[in-house]
Amino acid sequence: MSMKFDALLKTYDGVDSVAVIHAAFDETPRTVAMVEVSSKLSTESKLERAFMLTNSVNDAWWNNEGVTPVFPEKGCRSTSVGDMVLIGTEKYKCDSSGWSLI
């Protein structure tokens, strides 16, 4: 199957792809992952899921199911306070408690 067809099929199946952007400790913000989340989740739940899936606990986060890493290095730090998640056209910043629309 083509990549466009795969993306269309995921949309049909109720899956959204959100971008995780590291900015907290970086000079220039950069997208490090695309994370698949259920389109049925609330915005808050999508943000929390993207955060959870881009944190290393028992294994490197880029090995998590539903995560497509898009960084050129061999590894990448976990998502942290100050990083961002893009859902559609809305960007959210991870705060020390919760998220803020920027």
Is residue 3 scored above 60 in pLDDT?
A: no
Residue 57 backbone phi and psi in degrees, to 5: -120, -75
CB 78 within 8 A of CB 23: no
* Model-wide pTM > 0.75: yes
Q: Are 90 and 101 in contact (CB under 8 A)?
A: yes
Q: How many C-alpha atoms does 62 have within 13 Å on its Cβ side? A: 12
| 11-43 confidence digits (pLDDT tens) | 556 899 999 999 999 889 999 999 999 999 999
Instruction: Name the average pLDDT for the chain.
Output: 90
Beta-sheet pairing, 84-87 with 67-69:
unpaired
Q: How many residues does the chain have?
A: 102
Output phi, psi for 4, to 5 deg: -65, -40
Of 18, 10, 52, nearest to 35 by C-alpha is 18
